[in-house]
Amino acid sequence: MNVRIPTPAALAVAALLAGCAGASSPGAPPSAAQPAAAQHLEAVRAAARWVPAPGTTYQIQYDGTYTTSVPADVYDVDMFDAPVRYIEKLHAMGRKVVCYISVGTWENWRPDAGKFPKSVLGKPDGGWPGERWLDVRQTQILEPIMTARLQECKKKGFDGVDPDNIDGYENKTSFNITASQQLTYDTWVAQEAHALGLTADQKNDNDQVAQLSQVFDYAVTEQCFTQGWCDRFAVYTARHALVQDVEYGTPPATFSGKVCPDVATYGENAILKHLSLNAWIVTCPATSAR
């Protein structure tokens, strides 16, 4: 159930853009026309960008097995590890493919790990060995690295990006990151993805969903039912965009009987996964696949 903004809307926006360009006559100050033109240009780009609708089925699989047996519309897989032939196979099956990258943490096993200077590396990220929080205030250092990652995502043929760890300001990073500084960085991530024609999802950060929902295309949450904040993301489903909740460690019977009906009241989806994010999945209604 993947959906694009209807072509007539795209044509209408293009017409507005053309009209705006025509308004830049010799008698009109260019500075007055440029902001409107920029807004119209972004609208044209959005019209051509794939955005998953509520009800789109979703599979997250990071463990490197790369099976295709789960009947999901979207596969969310690791950008660095997934081979191009796997992405092409999923496309041939009619699936969309989203690349996972961490934009808020350093991972010592990544091929570009040496590009991060020590000045941007903070405290370890919880129980994940080899992973440390990044100082997202240092945008001059981080933006070129993340741009290269997004470009590789595009080059490999992905349709979108799943940028993880966009909530460092809420964690013990060793940096004094403010909500405003985090918002600036997260907004840049979404805009940079869009500039490459990639859709981008908001990954958690429920405290800033009002602002981030204005720049991201859809949302992926983790444990929103368990932690009690699924309702905050209904702003996405209200505009016919997907909210995909991922729950961990819940008994399948509880997932089917409690989680699924609860998230459905907000028009959201839910899946149950192992924390290792292998191919195993339970969906709503309770069906499982490996």
Could you tell me how far CA 244 lies from the centroid of its own chain? 11
- Tell me, what's the pLDDT at 45? 57
Q: Which residues of the chain have pLDDT under 50?
A: 1-33, 286-290
How many angstroms separate the CA atoms of 75 and 58, rounded?
6
- Tell me, what's the pLDDT at 94? 97
- Tell me, what's the pLDDT at 21? 40
- Tell me, what's the pLDDT at 7? 35
Q: What confidence tens digit (pLDDT) does each residue in 244-268 have?
A: 999 999 999 999 999 999 999 999 9
- Tell me, what's the pLDDT at 63? 87
Residue 190 backbone phi and psi in degrees, to 5: -65, -45
In this structure, the dihedral spanned by the alpha carbons of residues 192, 193, 197 and 202, taken in order and rounded to 10 degrees, is: -140
Residue 12 exposure: Cα atoms within 13 Å on the Cβ side: 5
How many angstroms separate the CA atoms of 32 and 94, rounded?
44
- Tell me, what's the pLDDT at 106? 98
- pTM greater than the 0.85 cutoff: no
Nearest CA among 230, 158, 167 for reference residue 203: 167
